[in-house]
Each structure stands twice: as structure tokens, then as C-alpha cells.
Amino acid sequence: MDVDTDRLNSFMGKMIGDVGAAMNASLMLLGDKLGLYRALAKSGPMNSAELAKATGTAERYVREWLSAQAASGYVEYDPATNQFSMLPEQALALADEDSPVFLGAVGHLVSATFLDEPKITDAFRSGKGVGWNRRSECLFCGTARFFRTGYKHHLVQEWLPALDGVVAKLERGATVADIGCGHGVSTLLMAKAFPNSTFYGFDYHDGSIATAREAARTEELSDRVHFEVHSAKSFPKRGYDLVCFFDCLHDMGDPVGAMKHTREAMADDGTCMLIEPFAHDRLQDNFNPVGRVYYAASTMVCTPASLDQEVGLALGAQAGEARLRDVARQGGLTRFRRAAETPFNLILEARP
């Protein structure tokens, strides 16, 4: 076998970079959980002793963590003062949960994939699925926080207005179903923006519904936001004006069945909004940084979840618009269009 030395060196450099990123995912989780990023962004420049004192942590550990973060380019280091700091761009990504580019929750997601790896390895051998009810708890909180960033900055401001006539209905007073709502982040964001409307969040994972109900109580929205344990094929039919699927249709075992049930559950002039991971229709067009993340998540989370359910269609997180259009059409929603997009999401409108 002929080996191209330059190509080998380039590949090894890429691998070393990936190993460093993988190892530092756990340090991102530590920094997020212990408030290290937040304290440094708020008070820096600081040395390790000052950051340890500000966060109630041990200096020797903090010193090593800061060194790793500086080596990763996640924080800055000044050798003249022996102090560390964060640039505004670094702080937006790692220290500010309300920023439009916050990625501090990624550590939870990566942790969950490693914790659940033995289950996924067994699934590779057996061909069986691994349901959400068998996943590590950090997957649920990590997923909610990861998607919250996009929903908070795009859902009410851009995605809903891109749908035909939906905002006017919500302002007058509409009935909305949020399928696969998880911790209810998307449901509550919509409810706060449209006080005349009533919202129902459904998820088959009872632990997530319990968390969502508590969040509704905290936000004092329980009078018109209701969370119930139901699957996408069993939620009550109430003539919904809007039915939403936020980054979840591809996780379902029978997405066509979910679309059929949605068609029966919605008003004749209702709208179904599908928020799905951004993907092109051709495999090779998804060979990019976003596709890389989504294919990895799909292998470890989305595909196993679907295969654990009836039918087990396993669309995957990179299904693409054409395949999602076909699923909607089979479910009776024949008017279909791409209403909006971001680098991370497709916003699709499906109507009868």
C-alpha cells in the first residue's frame, strides 16, 4: 500500500485535534457546572487562585483546567501577569446562557453519549433500539439547554412569522400542540409570547413531563399551558390551530403515523410546523461541520430512539427536506414548503 506522507501527516494532525476536542468536552462540562466560565467572564482577568476563590473550588484543579482551556483557545492567557481572561466571543459561547451562540450545554450531551455507549454497542450487535427512557439523565437536561438557544432567538422572532397566517391566529387566541415537548422549553416560549392562546405539550417520557410541569408552575403559566404524557400517535384531538414538532419527528419510530394522527387532530385550516436539523438531501452535501455533529448525534441518540419504537423507520437526524416532505404527504399533509432555515435547522410548514 502506497502511503502519501503529506496526506498522512495532515490526517494525523486532524486526529490529534479531534482527540483534544473529545478530551476537553468533559472540561467544558466541568466549567459549566462549576460556574468557572461565568466567573471568569464576569470578573477576569484572574489567576487560578482568584478564580478558585470566586467559585469555591480548589486552586490546583482550577490551574490545570485553565491551562487546558487556554491550550484549546477557549480562554486567553497573559504570561506577563499569569492571568487568564475571556474574549467577548468566548464568553458568548461558553458563559452566557442567553446568548444566541451559547454552546456551554454541549458537555452534557457528549457525556451522555459516553455514559450510554455500552447500550449503543449492544444495539449495534442486536439491531434493537435504545429508547429515551433508558438514557442517562444528563441527555435530557443537555438536550433542553442545547436547543433552548435556537428556540429563544428564532422561534417567536422568525419561525412563527414565516408560517402563513399563524401569528395572527396566536394573537387572537389559538390552540397549540407541542409534540415531543421534552422539558417544555419551546412550549413555554410560545406561551409567554402569545397570552391569548392555550398550549398543550406532549411527550411520552414521564420524567420530562414532570420537569415541564414544574417549569410552567415556576413561570406562572399553568392556567393555559398543560403538559401531558402522550405519544405522537395518542395525544388528544382538539382541533389544534398549530401542531409543532421541535427536533423530534426524526426520532419517532412511526413518523408517518404521527403525521396521520396530527392531520386528524388539527383544525381543517390548521398548520403543522416541523423543526428539523438542517440537512441537504444528498449524503455528500452534508459532509461539513454541522452534518458531522448531527450524524454523530443521530448514531448515538436519534436512530436508536426510533428503532426502539414500533415501525422503527429511523429517519435519522439528517433526513433532509425531500424525505420529510414524503413523510408529511403520506400522513395527509400535502401542502409542504420550507418556510425558513438557520445553519442548524430547517423550518418546514405542512398543511392539509
Residue at which a domain ends, from 66, 97, 128:
97
Residue 138: per-residue pLDDT = 82
12 lies in the same domain as 135: no
Q: State the Cα–Cα distance between residues 45 and 68, nearest whole angstrom.
A: 17
Burial of 312 (0-12, 13-18, 19+ CB in 10 A): middle
285 lies in the same domain as 145: yes
For 10, the 3-state DSSP assignment is helix
Let me know the angle formed at the C-alpha of 179 by 175 and 184, rounded to the nearest 5 degrees: 85
pLDDT digits (tens, 9 = 90+) for 300-345: 999 999 999 999 999 999 999 999 999 999 999 999 999 999 999 9
Residue 137: per-residue pLDDT = 80
Q: State the Cα–Cα distance between residues 348 and 352, nearest whole angstrom.
A: 14
Residue 99: per-residue pLDDT = 96
228 lies in the same domain as 270: yes
245 lies in the same domain as 333: yes
121 lies in the same domain as 48: no
Provide CB contacts within 8 A for 100, sequence distance 6+: 92, 149, 152, 153
Domain count, the chain: 2
173 lies in the same domain as 145: yes
Structural domain contains residue 103:
no
For 232, the 3-state DSSP assignment is coil
90 lies in the same domain as 136: no
Q: Cell match 393555559: residue? A: 224
Structural domain contains residue 11:
yes
Q: How far is CA 7 from the centre of its chain?
A: 35
Q: State the Cα–Cα distance between residues 117 and 304, nearest whole angstrom.
A: 11
pLDDT 10s per residue in the chain (352 long)? 899 999 999 999 999 999 999 999 999 999 999 999 999 999 989 999 999 999 999 999 999 999 999 999 999 999 999 999 999 999 999 999 999 999 998 999 999 999 999 999 999 999 999 998 899 888 888 898 999 999 999 999 999 999 999 999 999 999 999 999 999 999 999 999 999 999 999 999 999 999 999 999 999 999 999 999 999 999 999 999 999 999 999 999 999 999 999 999 999 999 999 999 999 999 999 999 999 999 999 999 999 999 999 999 999 999 999 999 999 999 999 999 999 999 999 999 999 9
Residue 89's alpha-carbon distances to 73, 95, 99, in angstroms, are: 11, 10, 10
Residue at which a domain ends, from 97, 130, 151:
97
Residue at which a domain ends, from 97, 130, 157:
97
Provide CB contacts within 8 A for 75, sequence distance 6+: 40, 66, 69, 84, 85, 86, 90
Whole-model pTM: value is 0.92
66 lies in the same domain as 170: no
Q: State the Cα–Cα distance between residues 193 and 198, nearest whole angstrom.
A: 11
Report the CATH number at residue 235.
Answer: 3.40.50.150
Domain containing 221 equals 108-351
Provide CB contacts within 8 A for 154, sequence distance 6+: 342, 345
Cβ atoms of 282 and 319 closer than 8 Å: no
pLDDT digits (tens, 9 = 90+) for 272-288: 999 999 999 999 999 99
258 lies in the same domain as 333: yes
133 lies in the same domain as 27: no
Which one-letter DSSP state was computed for residue 204? S
Report the CATH number at residue 11.
Answer: 1.10.10.10
